[in-house]
């Protein structure tokens, strides 16, 4: 029982990590596209 439960927990953690990474990647891509489109001149104070 405990082995099965820990497997579930591990896969859930892995899934969460993958989803979090995907979210970060998408946010970075969006920010990059916006930066290129809206302000070609990089303003250091505007980094997010």
What distance in Å separates the CA atoms of residue 21 and residue 48, rounded to the nearest whole number?
17
35: pLDDT strictly greater than 80: no
Check: CB of residue 35 under 8 Å from CB of residue 42: yes
What is the tens place of the pLDDT at every residue in 3-33?
Answer: 677 888 899 999 999 999 999 999 988 887 8
1: pLDDT strictly greater than 80: no
Q: How confident is the model at residue 39 (pLDDT cuts 50, 70, 90)?
A: low
pTM of the model: 0.53
What distance in Å separates the CA atoms of residue 17 and residue 11, rounded to the nearest whole number?
10
Using the structure block, give the residue that is written with the tokens 């497997």. Answer: 7
């Amino acid at each position: 029982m405990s082995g099965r439960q820990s497997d579930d927990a591990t896969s859930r953690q892995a899934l969460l990590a993958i989803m979090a990474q995907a979210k970060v990647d998408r946010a970075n891509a969006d920010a990059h596209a916006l930066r290129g489109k809206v302000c070609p001149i990089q303003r250091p104070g505007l980094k997010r």
